[in-house]
Amino acid sequence: MTRLRTSAMIASLAADGQKVTTAPFGHTLARLAETRSDIVGMTADLGKYTDLHIFAESHPDRFYQMGMAEQLLMASAAGMAREGFTPFVTTYAVFAARRAYDFIYMAIAEDRLNVKIACALPGLTTGYGPSHQGTDDLAIFRAIPGLVVIDPCDAVDVEQATEAAANHVGPVYMRLLRGHVPRVLDDFAGRFEIGKARLLRDGADVLFISTGILTMRVLEAATALSGDRIDAGVLHMPTVKPLDLAAITAALQRPGRLIIVAENHTTPGGFGEAVLAQAALHGGAAPMRQIALPDAFLDAGALPTLHDRYGISTKTIVERVKAWL
């Protein structure tokens, strides 16, 4: 068994030799701020690990270091947004979702303020254990009325979603992929739009409906399955809220294929449940299966091992799909 270095626990998601972009969020934000004087950056001592340091270096006059104080971070961003600025605030998903929730709900979302919350370590993207694994953030943030919730697949999604968030009027929560982020979606037509699903590939036997980095995984799985003469499609839904209900309903109309919802999040209240609810309400007759993290406090360890253990690696997805068919 390969011994993984500790750095693998902080974890780039990129496979060896995969095309990557470094700090897509930080560079995009710094570029947007060249022409958008309303954009400010704020963090709670995680600028370096959320790629906001790129913005801090290029726009030091509009960067605010709020210290390890996430409640202050969210509410002071609300204050700045109230005065016409567009704050991009960064921390880890766990701290935004679990520690600062009331401040996001009341100070930001109730008044529909233009605060953009970009949070690293979403789902199982670190091996540091439950204190740092944001495996419940989608469920928590889906519960806030009017909040846009985005789970990008790769660097391309991150770049385009950052720009879309800046242009959107209202609050946004975006799961952040940072560091060396794989580029996958360059090879597909279309681009990120808030609230829009993208059919990346069609399939007659299986349709994955996926969000976040699981889209990257199911694309790989679809390629692998084609070697076994299994025709699998991928409907990518980077916006978890508002959900593209029409795209789901349309996908369910086509008979004779297995629908598989896939997300980097635990089962309760996540993306999968949202899709399954839509299917149930609209009488979809297709058989459906779910790929998600278990409803549990997950283990610490090396990320690739954890992805295998919890069933979200490409290899385990392929095995499970074959077993289901």
Partner 1 sequence: MALTFQPLSGNALADMAQQNRIDTARMFKAAGNGHFGSCYSCADIVTVLYFATLRIDPTNPDWPDRDRFLLSKGHAAPTLYSALIRRGFIPEDWIAEYETHVGARLMTHPSRRYQAGVDASLGSLGHGLSIGVGMALAARLDHKDYMTYVLMGDGEINEGSVWEAAMAAAKYGLGNLVGIIDNNGLCVDGRTDDVMPMGSLVDKWLSFGWEVSRVDGHDLNALLQVLAPRRLMGHDRPHMVIADTVKGKGVSFMEDVRSWHSDSISNTQYAMAMAELGALQ
Counting contacts by CB under 8 A, is residue 82 touching partner 1? yes
The span of 14-22, 71-79, 242-250, 317-325 binding partner 1 (CB under 8 A) equals 71-79
Counting contacts by CB under 8 A, is residue 101 touching partner 1? no
The nearer residue to partner 1, 16 or 83, going by C-beta atoms, is 83
The span of 76-84, 189-197, 273-281, 304-312 binding partner 1 (CB under 8 A) equals 76-84
Using the rule CB under 8 A, which residue among 45, 110, 231, 299 binds partner 1? 110
| Contact indicator for 62, 33 with CB cutoff of 8 Å | yes
- C-alpha–C-alpha distance, residues 55 and 214, integer Å: 28
Counting contacts by CB under 8 A, is residue 85 touching partner 1? yes
The span of 22-30, 67-75, 274-282, 311-319 binding partner 1 (CB under 8 A) equals 67-75
* Helix axis angle, 245-253 to 271-281, nearest 10°: 60
And the tokens for 63? 């960067």
Residue whose tokens read 């409803």: 295
Counting contacts by CB under 8 A, is residue 69 touching partner 1? yes
Counting contacts by CB under 8 A, is residue 317 touching partner 1? no
Say whether 85 sits in a helix, a strand or coil.
Answer: coil
How far is C-alpha 145 from the chain's CA centre?
Answer: 19
Counting contacts by CB under 8 A, is residue 79 touching partner 1? yes
Counting contacts by CB under 8 A, is residue 59 touching partner 1? no
| Contact indicator for 116, 165 with CB cutoff of 8 Å | yes
- Residues 6+ away with beta carbon under 8 Å from 23: 51, 54, 178, 179, 181
Site for partner 1, rule CB under 8 A: 40, 61-62, 64, 66-67, 69, 71-72, 74-85, 87, 102-103, 106-107, 110-111
